Amino acid sequence: MLRSLAYRLLPPQCVVCELHAGAPSTSICTHCETDFFAPGIDRCERCAIRLPVEQPGARMCGRCLTTVPNFDATTTLADYVSPVDGMVMAMKFTARLDLADLFGRLLARRLSVLPSAASDAIVIPVPLAFERVRQRGFNQSSHIARAFAVAAGRRIVVDQLLRVRHTPPQLSLALKERRRNVRGAFSVEGKLDGQNVLVVDDVMTTGSTLDEAARALKKAGAVHVHNLIVARTP
């Protein structure tokens, strides 16, 4: 209550440096946006992992070349390192939904400079397991996706990609186990024939969850699946 009152009376402070005021309608200053969310880093066009500097001109990482994922492209705002990791954790664990709004707006701005993104693509957030939503009270990916859809003028669809199976936390598992862990975790309600889809999530670690989501979307007829994520684990 106090915070929302202060927010209305004072220009919002930058969430990262707490020094400069954010530009109107954002809560990050231009310095921090340039320092921590700058585009232009060479990344794998499929999974958004940073490409090694010794391979100039490469478009895909070795892993995606060996095992082609079900999704076609990934765009990330940043790597999952400080201060972005702290922002993501604050959003998830202290319900800082203003950060979800910020991430959604930054993703919209990033996508507007990507020529490859289909202009007719619908926006689908990665659903959380029901148990997780009940614990946390919200799905951060839905909030990011909603802010993104508003800023980018896109249609959001929240009731077609469903989490049908609760999966144990992925953190402690090796890559192979992660893949097995998420197998069959999603289903799609109805058809997506000929649809291009933008899938929104907060963090991509190995990509197993997003790969499984893309598999379900394509099985339902989706043509092109492009992930939009806040942060990529390096």
Q: Interface with Zn ion by CB under 5 A: which range of 32-40, 91-99, 104-112, 145-153?
A: 32-40
- Residues of span 5-24 touching Zn ion by CB under 5 A: 14, 16-17
Interaction pattern, residues 136-155, with Zn ion; x per rule: CB under 5 A: --------------------
CA distance 218 to 224: 8
* Residue 192 · residue 186 · CB < 8 Å: no
Does the footprint of Zn ion cover residue 204 (CB under 5 A)?
A: no
Does the footprint of Zn ion cover residue 61 (CB under 5 A)?
A: yes
Whether the upstream peptide bond of residue 24 has omega within 30° of 0, thus cis, is no
Does the footprint of Zn ion cover residue 156 (CB under 5 A)?
A: no
Tokens of 211: 């790969």
Does the footprint of Zn ion cover residue 46 (CB under 5 A)?
A: yes
E-strand spans in the chain?
73-79, 122-125, 161-163, 186-188, 196-204, 224-232
Neighbours of 97 (CB within 10 A): 15
Q: How many CA atoms, within 13 angstroms, populate the side-chain half-sphere of residue 90?
A: 15
Applying CB under 5 A, what is the total number of residues that bind Zn ion? 10
- Residues of span 77-136 touching Zn ion by CB under 5 A: none
Does the footprint of Zn ion cover residue 64 (CB under 5 A)?
A: yes
Residues that bind Zn ion (CB under 5 A): 14, 16-17, 29, 32, 44, 46-47, 61, 64
